[in-house]
Structure formats: structure tokens, C-alpha cells
Chain A
Amino acid sequence: MMDFLIATAQVLDATVRLSVPLLLACLAGLYSERAGIFDIGLEGKMLAGAFAAAATAAYTGSAYIGLLAAVLVSVALGLVHGFASITHRGNQIVSGMAINFIAAGTTVMLGQAWFKQGGRTPPIADAARFNAIDLPGAEALRDIPVIGPFYSGFISGRPLLVYVAFLLVPFTWWVLYRTRFGLRLRAVGENPAAVDTAGISVPWLRYRAVICCGLLCGIAGAYLSTADGAGFGRDMTAGKGYIALAALIFAKWRPVQAMFACLLFGFLDAFAIRNQGHPLPLIGEVPVQLMQALPYILTIVLLAGFIGKAIPPKAGGVAYVKER
């Protein structure tokens, strides 16, 4: 019994850890796609951000400067995507894919050129990482039964960026449904002509959306290399950008649901890692590949219309063209 509790606690702990980059990337995608710009380049932006954060933190010794660098690089890539798909009305999938390739290639190439460790950055000292922080009252509450250990052991004691990620959920909801920017953002993803005739600039609005997207992808990257990990390794995002997209579809482009989707996919990942090689009760041994494919399978099942319908923003993926 005790074993089971400990195992559960470990899986849940890993779930949170693994969901955070998904959640940040997913919310990033939400800003972009709600504005009508599909972004398959979450993966690339996150990867470039992770590299920038690790390289800068290793060099300067500051996690915060690393984070800043990650955000700058990721926003710059976001602007490239914006330039291709908003200003030049290019194909958004092609542009997003291009960013993924550029990021995958450049990070390894620069890593090798600068650090000569096969594309990795040197390990980062703890002082230059986002370390676990204790939330106020964690010590005082520790001895209260149930709530105490939950608060002090599970909620408290995580790196800052974890809290940032989860606080961004209500914040994004608030932005989307309670602010002028959110109203316009949702409108431009549905009918840009309506936004245009209402006297609002469609390109500028969409640029702001891709900037938000770049910002969050940068944070996700910094989390991977300077909070969860301690350094950059080649291809360290390992498809998280795509899973985040799947989660976004799963959540039907809504922030709170996005959090649950990311927690679910994070849980599946944690569960797969934990139970690798262990047969499950009733089911028997499940190949780890199947577990890893589960987020995609669930998304396809959803897209096929079995679990309600996922209707993307109506103007998503198409450039706004006024004059033919």
C-alpha cells in the first residue's frame, strides 16, 4: 500500500514536471491560432529558446538573462513566421516547418561551434538555473495532516517557471475573455474582414499574437534547459511542440481545457516512463511506444469527432487577402 502511494506521488510529481513545457507551448499556440495564424513551429521556437537560455546562462551565470535570451530568440523566430504568413501571406504550415528545421539545425551547429561538445552546452551550475523555491508558509503548514504535505511537498518547492506556467492559465483566460485585446484576437481568428471593417489593423493584431506566442515558447524553452534540466542537449524538445499542438486541439483552443489536456498528456508520459518494462494489472505489458503515441491517438479520435467536435478558428491557416 505504501509502495503504491509513493509510486503514485512520484508519477504525479513527474506529471507536473512534464506538463509545464507542454502547457507553456500550448498556451503559446493558443494566442497564435486564436488569431488565425496556425503555428506548427512551436517545437522549433521552444528548441531555439532552450538553446539560447542554456548558452546564455552558461556564459553569464544568470538564469534570468538566459530566460531573456530565450524569449528574444523565440520571439524573433515568431516574427519570421509572422513576416512570412502575415505580411507575405505565405503558407503557414510551410513557414512553421521551416522554423522547426532551422532551429534543429542551427542549435546543434552553434552548440558545436561554441562549446565543442557534440551540440550540447556545458552543464549549468545550480546558481545559473531556476531552482526550487519554497512558497510562503510551506514550513509552517508542513505538519498539518493531508493539506500540509500536499502544499509543502507537492505544490511548493518547484522552480519559478512552473508557477508562471500555471498562473498563465487564468491569466490567458482573462486576457481572452475580459480584455479588448482578447476580444479582437478572437475576432481576427474568425473573420478578419469584420475586424478590418471595424477599423482595426489586421496585420498589427496578428503580429501581436505571434509575439505573445514567441514569448511563451521562449519561456517553455528556458524551462527545459535551465529549470527542468541543466543544459541543452540536441533535439531536447523531442516532439513536445507537436504534443502541445495536439493538446491545443484537444482543448478546442480554450485555456483552462488546455491545462487539463497538457496535464493528461504529461501524465501519460510520466506513467509510461515509470512503468517501462513493468506489466500493468489486467492489461499486461504495454509497449512504451504505444504510451508515447497515445496523445496523438487521442487527438485523432477527437478530430474524427468521437469526443465532441474540435472546430478550429474559422479563419485559421488562411492569409487575409483583400484584393485578389
Chain B
Amino acid sequence: MAESAIELVGIDKRFGAVHANRDIHLRVEKGTIHGIIGENGAGKSTLMSILYGFYQADNGEIRINGAPARISDPNTAIALGIGMVHQHFMLVENFTVLENVMLGVEGAPLLKRGIAKARAELKRLEQEYQLDVDPDALIEELPVGLQQRVEILKALYRGAEILVLDEPTGVLTPAEADHLFRILEQLKAQGKTIVLITHKLREIMAVTDNVSVMRQGSMVATRKTTETTVEELAELMVGRRVLLRVQKGEAKPGEVKLSVENLTVRDSRGVIMVDNASFTVRAGEIVGIAGVAGNGQSQLIETVAGIRTAVSGRVLLDGQVIDITGAADPGELRDRGLAHVPEDRHHMGLVLAFEEYENSILGYHDDPLYLNGPFLDIQAIQADARKKIEKYDIRPSDPRLKTANFSGGNQQKIVLAREIERDPGVLIIGQPTRGVDVGAIEFIHKRIIEMRDAGKAVLLVSVELDEIRSLSDRILVMFAGRIVGERDSDASEGELGLLMAGVEQQEAAE
């Protein structure tokens, strides 16, 4: 057997009541690319953060290159040659690339020499791995793809021999992801060991040598990639057979419900986020907006939902103009039959400190149904919440439980139940399954299709291209604030990927 770079023996970790890692055993061979897959919340990030010394395991042992190691903090991990690209980047946004790379390994108390050294070393790394990025650029001004490069450079600069990447492709276009994989191959060829976390099965099959599957905190299997299939891995991940593609019938689009005309939106800094966007959504169809995160999708749906104001353009709901310049408030739009499931349920969809039943009427609390004179009718609200809990299979089924104590999937169901049960004519839904387990994904997808079949107009935004492709009847692609193309639901991934990267647009401009 080949030498092992990493061995995890009986790793166990709890966060309060959450058992994030249960008695995990894992062996990663030196000089290989080892994939770790698992649903959201399976404990992948936790396990790797333990390896990196960011969290401490409650139990268990780590061996690096065969020798037992006590990794009490990231410093120890770095000294052992472990580098990690975290799922949420660990960058100081108002620092330059160079400063971020240097941080923690400045060399001497004065920066001068360290800066010169880092600059030279960065240049070398850039050339060796085609990781070009301007060392003097500010992080906040870089697109996410480049920010990730900085994270990789940080790890390489620290001399990482073992590189852990936690869901690196979530923020990348397919082409950028391919570039990343070429870099990983190159690193592997130099004898480095790579651990790649993802929940995208296609990537696992394409680049890994071995793959381990996690489910609900446990390591359920390890396979040689050549000896397994996508179907087997999917089943291992979820613990049962899953439908990877949603089943749905033909759409029967009716009259136009929502129409957006020449919409332009700027953010608080004055940067154009949505650039002259026009489209319509008809009754009985799902229109999906694809795009890499940060290309204006969020601002687009927030404007249509009345949360953000536009610079110019018109939005019509059922043929009636919505005042998007500031006067429209989301409450009024709700009354007019527009429901909105926001992208970020923690910041916009829910008050996590509230009990479940309180969230189940958030935004509808002045409906006479829930009122008793000027007071809230708690009995009625709780009865209503119980009905929704049953219908949407929200677990645990306790309307008095604090919302923060529900898992991501169940929190999302709370929001969905609230919005869908109002029977809106138009449903705007952002990232319906972000941070949601596969079982709940199926459920949520079915509900969305049911809405369509009931003749509602659905506008869907997701950064998961697979989700867009399997749900939408029409697909719009956004790049740099513009809608750069419209395709049918059977458009190929490659075609959409090029649009998402803005490739066609640039070619047209040349």
C-alpha cells in the first residue's frame, strides 16, 4: 500500500447538541487527489477544519505522514505542511493580495523585507501554476474566482504539501473550475496531496483518485473513483435511491403575470448591479435565472420584490406598474399576490431568535386571520403553524421551538410554507435549496413544480446550474448585471457555462 499523507482515527466532534463528526476514520494516500462528498451539513467542513487545527476534536487521533500529530491550532497545521482553502474565504477584504498572502508569515517584525520576499515568491508561484493575480489589487475589488486564487496562493506560499479545498467550485464558472482542476493535477504531479470537498458528483468523477462519502456526521464509505459510479455515490450520500432529475410535465404558459422592462439597479456605492434587464414571467411557467454568484441576480429579485430601489425601468405585476423607485413596500406587493422567498433565509427570511410559529407568519402579521382586535391571536397562529408543519413535514414538529434550532432544510421549509400557503400569483424564489439536505431538496422542488402546475408564475434564481436546468421551463443567464441570453430548458451545460462566463458577449464585442 502507498504511504499515507493523512490518517484520521476515530475523530469525534460535537457542537453543543449537534454531533458533527462521529468516529471518523479516513486515510488519504500521498500524492493523490482524494474527494470527500456529502450533503450539506454532513460534517465535511468540520472534519477538515479539525485537520487544520481550526476546531479541536473531542476525541480521536490525527497522523500526518505516519507520525501522530497534535494539531492544536492552525499554526501547527501550517508547520506540518497542511494548507486549506476554506469554503468561506478567510481574506481581509481591504488588504491587498500581497498583504493577505503575507499575513502570519511576515518573517521579521518589520514588514519591508517580508514584502520584497513575498513579491518575488508570488511571481514564481504565479508562473509555475498560471495563478496570475495582481499582488497590489485590493481583495474587495477582485471577483470571487480570483479571491480563491489568492487563497490557493496563501497555502502554497506557506509551503503546503497537503492542500485541502472546501467546496472550491461553488463560486466558479465551469471553465474556471476546469482551470482549477488542471492546477490540482499539476500539484499532484509534483507529489502534493489534495483533499477536495464538494457535493458535485461530476467533479468527483473527473478529478479524484479516491473518494470518501460522509452522511450525517459519519464516514460511510471510501471507494476508488474508477470503481464506482455517480449513482452509487449519490445513493451512499443520501442513504437511499434519489431522483437526480426532477419529474415534471409540459408547461402550459398562460398570460403574462410579471413583466420587467429595462430595469437598472445600482448598489450603495453607485456600481451598476443590474443593467437594463427585460423579461417576462407567464402564469404556469418557471423562469430560471442562471449565473455565477454576484452577477446581479440578487439585486434583480430584491428589486422586483420591493426591497431595493431601481434607477430606471418598469416592473409590472398583473399589468399594473409597481413603483420600484422607493415607494413600493414588500407588504403592499404581498397583498397584490407577489410572494418572495429570499436567497438568504438567515438575514431576510427568518428571525432566528423567534419561535417557529412567529416566523410562520412573519410579514403577514397584520392579516385579520391572526389578529384579535389589536393583539396577535396566538392560538390561531399556532394552530395555523401546526397545519403548515404537518403539510411540509417540518421537523421537529414543534411550533414553540426556537427557529435557530431547526436544520437548514427545515428552516427553508418554514419560509416556503409561509409564502406558498398564501397562494400568491407570482412566486419569486432565490436559492431554494442552498444549505438544504437532499431529502428536503426533492420535497422543495416538488412544491415549486406544483406551484407552476397550479398556474402560478415562478421566477427562480439559483447558482446551482443543475437546479436551474432541471426546474426551469425557460432559462435566462445573467453576467455582469446583464441578461446575456435566453435558452430552453434543454440547453447544454457547456452552452450555459459559456454564457455565464460572459464568453459570447466578449466575442461579440471584439
Contact = CB atoms under 8 A, between A and B. Distances in A.
A322 interface: yes
Contacts of A180: 106, 108-111, 114
Interface stretch (B90-98, B378-386, B428-436, B500-508): B90-98
Contacts of A314: 93-94
A195 B90 CA distance: 8
A197 B54 contact: yes
B55 A199 contact: no
A197 B94 CA distance: 17
Given A179-B109, A179-B110, A187-B95, A197 B90 contact: yes
A196 B54 contact: yes
Contact of B93 (A179, A181, A190): A190
Contacts of B16: 324
A196 B74 contact: yes
B60 to A, nearest CB: 17
B273 interface: no
B397 interface: no
B78 interface: yes
Given A183-B102, A191-B92, A178 B111 contact: yes
A11 B55 CA distance: 58
Interface in A160-218: 178-184, 186-187, 190-191, 193-201
A187 B111 CA distance: 14
A181 B110 CA distance: 8
B52 interface: yes
Interface string A231-264: 0000000000000000000000000000000000
A179 B112 CA distance: 8
A324 B99 contact: no
Nearest to A177: B111
B141 interface: no
B100 interface: yes
A190 B95 contact: yes
A238 to B, nearest CB: 35
B90 A198 contact: yes
B207 to A, nearest CB: 24
4 cross-chain pairs, A with B, having the tightest CB-CB distances, nearest first: A198-B104, A199-B75, A194-B90, A180-B106
B375 interface: no
B226 to A, nearest CB: 34
A314 B95 CA distance: 12
A201 to B, nearest CB: 7
> What size tier do the contact residues of chain A reach?
20 to 34
Contacts of B109: 179-181
Contacts of B77: 199
Contacts, number: 78
Contacts of B92: 186-187, 190-191, 194
A3 interface: no
Nearest to A194: B90
Interface string B100-125: 10111110111110100000000000
A195 to B, nearest CB: 7
Contacts of B99: 183, 187
A123 B74 CA distance: 55
Most buried by B among A181, A182, A196, A199: A199
Given A180-B110, A324-B16, 13 more contacts: A180-B108, A190-B95, A191-B92, A194-B103, A196-B54, A196-B74, A197-B52, A197-B84, A198-B90, A198-B103, A198-B105, A199-B73, A314-B93
Interface string B248-275: 0000000000000000000000000000
Contacts of B88: 193
B55 A183 contact: no
A201 B72 CA distance: 12
A195 B74 CA distance: 10
Interface of B: 15-16, 52, 54-55, 73-75, 77-78, 84, 86, 88, 90-95, 99-100, 102-106, 108-112, 114, 154
Contacts of B105: 198-199
A193 B90 contact: yes
Contacts of B102: 183
Given A194-B91, A200-B104, A322 B110 contact: no
B15 A199 contact: no
A179 B91 contact: no
A314 B110 CA distance: 25
20 contacts: A179-B111, A180-B106, A180-B109, A180-B114, A184-B103, A184-B104, A187-B103, A190-B92, A194-B92, A195-B103, A197-B86, A197-B90, A198-B74, A199-B75, A199-B104, A200-B104, A314-B94, A323-B15, A324-B15, A324-B16
B102 to A, nearest CB: 7
Contacts of A199: 73-75, 77-78, 104-105
A313 to B, nearest CB: 9
A324 B405 CA distance: 12
A196 B77 CA distance: 12
Nearest to B52: A197
A191 B108 contact: no
Contacts of A181: 109
A320 to B, nearest CB: 12
Nearest to B107: A180
Given A198-B103, A199-B73, A201-B73, A183 B91 contact: no
A209 to B, nearest CB: 16
B161 to A, nearest CB: 16
Contacts of B111: 178-180, 182-183
A190 B108 CA distance: 22
B255 to A, nearest CB: 44
B378 to A, nearest CB: 29
Contacts of A201: 73
Most buried by A among B54, B73, B90, B102: B90
A190 B100 CA distance: 12
A241 B109 CA distance: 31
A181 B95 CA distance: 15
Contacts of B108: 180
A182 to B, nearest CB: 8
Contact of A178 (B74, B91, B103, B112): B112
Nearest to B77: A199
Nearest to B73: A199
A197 B74 contact: yes
Nearest to B76: A199
Nearest to A174: B110
Contacts of A186: 92, 95
A314 B229 CA distance: 45
A7 to B, nearest CB: 44
Contacts of B86: 197
B70 to A, nearest CB: 15
A196 B54 CA distance: 8
A190 B54 CA distance: 18
B155 to A, nearest CB: 10
A9 B114 CA distance: 47
Contacts of B103: 183-184, 187, 194-195, 198, 200
Interface string A312-324: 0010000000111
